[in-house]
Amino acid sequence: MAYSSLEQCLLDLEKNGHLKRVTEEVDPFLEMATIHHRVYEAGGPALLFENVKGSNYRTASNIFGTLDRSKFIFRDTMEHVQQLIRFKQNPINALKNPLKNFSAGLHAINALPLKNPISKPVLFKEINIQDIPLIHHWPMDGGAFVTLPQVYSEDIDHPGIAHSNLGMYRIQLSGNKYLLNKEIGLHYQLHRGIGVHQTKSNKKNTPLKVSVFVGGPPAHTVSAVMPLPEGMSEINFAGILGGRCFRYIYKDGYCISTDADFVITGEVFPGDNKPEGPFGDHLGYYSLQHSFPLMRVHKVYAKRNAIWPFTVVGRPPQEDTSFGQLIHEITGEAISNEIPGLKEVHAVDAAGVHPLLLAIGSERYTPYLPTKQPAEILTIANHVLGTGQLSLAKFLFITADESNQLTTHDISSYLRFILERIDLTRDIHFYTNTTIDTLDYSGDGLNTGSKVVIAAYGDKIRDLSTEIPSSIKALNEIRGVSLVQPGIISIQTKKYIHQEEAQKEIESIKQQLNNQLDDLKGIAMIILCDDAHFVGEKLNNFLWVTFTRSNPSHDIDGIGSFVKNKHWGCNGPLLIDARIKPHHAPAVELDAAVVKKTDKLFSSGGSLHGVI
């Protein structure tokens, strides 16, 4: 159905058994986020907190907590959106089926934003930042944050909603050196549209006007995180997905969403920054304190009976996992159609999304040659690493499969396919001194690190071992060893001290194994880690530890390694040092005392009894 407000959506969820109300008083400092975390982990319902300590406003979370619930919210519009995306990708096919696509075409009228003559809904009351539920998510967070914002900005050279950007960039409301009610922090990362807008404003020495919308129809929230095709705006998409035009007005020169529950307006001046963070982020670690743009608050508005939506991010999977799943459901093959030869790409949520991409491409360059080896997939890999947010990938595995039986979403089988075929002397390609995700602290500094493409194609060249080789068991100074999956071994070694010491330790392992290649022929990858049992216990543990704690140029080595004509390779297994380094950010952990405090809600008589 076409929701006109967040509350209408929540009532619909409640009516259909997808929402629970929490009537007890809940503290926004850690307690609320802990409750959310526990309910999400149990696959529980959306939550409506009706009694928020220190605030007159209700809060809601876990709205998009499962893919099924997200699809339920958009049950009346999903098919139309998918048809329109297919129409954009292949208009000829759409014209061949005009009746089938007619309703989707009619639905597209909702893409047009509507200037609303009625300004009262969101402008019902002017409030202060301190009146908002100031939710503190993790113990080491620098203050309270907005975690489901829709941050709106316009192109100074082309003002107006037609050339706007709507993105989800976290907002710090309190803490650090921010003046409460007057200043907030605006954190955005690489490859974000707002950065283009601020750059243009800075060149003209003009402040960038920014509006932060919170709440409103759920389609507005989803549109802020959509990786949309070139030429389609988030505002247009919000109307199509929501089945209702995006409604807005202008006040004091700021665009105001008249459907939002809250709106914060303000200006970002050139060179005006303050320390933002720390914040427990979606890689499962804290993003640390860094200088980010300061937004000087102009006015804050709330509608009557406004509801503040929030989510909690941390080690995946979390609620934002469902965003990724929903995006995949909506866009289908949009990304692969954008890149010639690319059949499938999967940003692995368990590894924090950007650290690990798995891809399947085509190999059509040299069908006349009897030997199969990577060719076209190397071209595709470069295209992937030059496309939007895919360019933030740190590890990119890519292969081709003529049988069309392989999928990137069966991660274990995909890795097995790659490792059975990889030629370690040929198939490893490094990109050094480049950009990586802002939230990834495995590199040399903020936004700085390296990438590696592992492109394997051809006939199977090895049988992967399902046992730990005796040569690995006999290694000196190892403290544990585990089989992660066929062909992958985790080794627990000493705590990482610094790079020079680590290199000595790795050289020692290499010397012990250089003459054991026959014993190692079924092993393609060895992970050095702090807890071999943890890494080997679950696939998600392996993915999280290996790809969030390693910088390819610094932390990849190999048995029998060599450099020939500036190409690196190895004759034995890859070694990846995935130990925690001194420069890494700490992992997020729930506060045990707060967890115990929230037990009362889940016990007999509590609002959430039986939920977990």
| Percent of the chain surpassing pLDDT 70 | 92
| Main-chain phi, psi angles of 431, to 5 degrees | -125, 110
Please say whether the beta carbons of 213 and 152 come within 8 A: yes
Q: Which residue has the tokens 């089926």?
A: 97
Q: Is the pLDDT of residue 418 over 90?
A: yes
Q: Is the pLDDT of residue 8 over 60?
A: yes
Q: Same topology for domains 75-310 and 470-577, yes or no?
A: no
Please say whether the beta carbons of 137 and 312 come within 8 A: yes
Give the up-direction half-sphere exposure of residue 181: CA atoms within 13 A in the CB hemisphere: 5
Please say whether the beta carbons of 352 and 282 come within 8 A: yes
The pLDDT value recorded for residue 117 is 73
Q: Is 264 exposed, middle or buried (0-12, 13-18, 19+ CB in 10 A)?
A: buried
Average pLDDT over residues 418-437: 95
The pLDDT value recorded for residue 91 is 44
- Joined together, the tokens standing for residue 306 give 């406004």
Does residue 63 or residue 85 have the better pLDDT? Answer: 63
Average pLDDT over residues 302-330: 91
Please say whether the beta carbons of 42 and 48 come within 8 A: no
Kindly report the three-state secondary structure assignment for every residue of 229-262. CCCCCHHHHHHHHHCCCCEEEEECCEEEECCCCE
Determine the Cα–Cα distance for residues 129 and 302; give it in Å rounded to an integer. 11
Question: Which one-letter amino acid corresponds to residue 362?
Answer: S
Determine the Cα–Cα distance for residues 469 and 31; give it in Å rounded to an integer. 47
CB atoms within 10 A of CB 106: 10
Band (597; pLDDT cuts 50, 70, 90): very high
Q: Is the pLDDT of residue 243 over 80?
A: yes
CB-based contacts of 93, cutoff 8 Å, min separation 6? 86
The domain defined by 75-310 folds into Pnp Oxidase; Chain A (2.30.110)
Specify the range with the lowest mean pLDDT, choosing from 84-88, 415-419, 507-511: 84-88
Average pLDDT over residues 350-362: 94
Average pLDDT over residues 293-318: 96
Kindly report the three-state secondary structure assignment for every residue of 554-586. HHEEECCEEEECCEEEECCCEEEECCCCCCCCC
Domain limits, the chain: 75-310, 319-455, 470-577
Determine the Cα–Cα distance for residues 95 and 114; give it in Å rounded to an integer. 28
- Joined together, the tokens standing for residue 368 give 């006349």
- State the average pLDDT for the chain: 91
Peptide bond into 317 cis (omega under 30): yes
- pLDDT, one tens digit per residue, over 199-224 is 898 899 999 999 999 999 999 999 99
- Joined together, the tokens standing for residue 430 give 């490094």
Average pLDDT over residues 136-144: 97
| Percent of the chain surpassing pLDDT 90 | 76
Determine the Cα–Cα distance for residues 264 and 262; give it in Å rounded to an integer. 7
- Joined together, the tokens standing for residue 449 give 């690190």
- Joined together, the tokens standing for residue 160 give 């107006």
CB atoms within 10 A of CB 46: 24
CB-based contacts of 403, cutoff 8 Å, min separation 6? none
Which residue blocks in 361-468 are alpha helix, DSSP H? 376-384, 411-421
Q: Is the pLDDT of residue 25 over 90?
A: yes
Specify the range with the lowest mean pLDDT, choosing from 125-134, 444-453, 466-475: 444-453
In terms of DSSP bridges, do strands 46-49 and 171-172 run parallel, antiparallel, or are they unpaired?
A: unpaired
Element (H, E) at 96: helix 91-96
Average pLDDT over residues 108-112: 83
Determine the Cα–Cα distance for residues 373 and 455; give it in Å rounded to an integer. 9
The domain defined by 470-577 folds into UbiD C-terminal domain-like (3.40.1670)
Average pLDDT over residues 160-171: 92
The pLDDT value recorded for residue 29 is 98
The pLDDT value recorded for residue 94 is 43
Please say whether the beta carbons of 309 and 148 come within 8 A: yes
- Joined together, the tokens standing for residue 142 give 């620098």
> How does DSSP classify residue 119?
-
Q: Is the pLDDT of residue 107 over 70?
A: no
Q: Which residue has the tokens 């990858």?
A: 525
Give the chain's largest Cα–Cα span.
79
- Joined together, the tokens standing for residue 215 give 């709440």
Average pLDDT over residues 126-142: 97
Band (575; pLDDT cuts 50, 70, 90): very high
Does residue 106 or residue 24 have the better pLDDT? Answer: 24
Determine the Cα–Cα distance for residues 484 and 500; give it in Å rounded to an integer. 28
Angstrom distances, CA of residue 577 to CA of 13, 130, 402, 425, 581: 46, 45, 34, 19, 10
The domain defined by 319-455 folds into UbiD C-terminal domain-like (3.40.1670)
Average pLDDT over residues 424-438: 93
Q: Which of 72-81, 166-175, 321-330 has the highest mean pLDDT?
A: 166-175
Please say whether the beta carbons of 601 and 608 come within 8 A: yes
Band (99; pLDDT cuts 50, 70, 90): very low
The pLDDT value recorded for residue 92 is 42
Average pLDDT over residues 318-335: 81
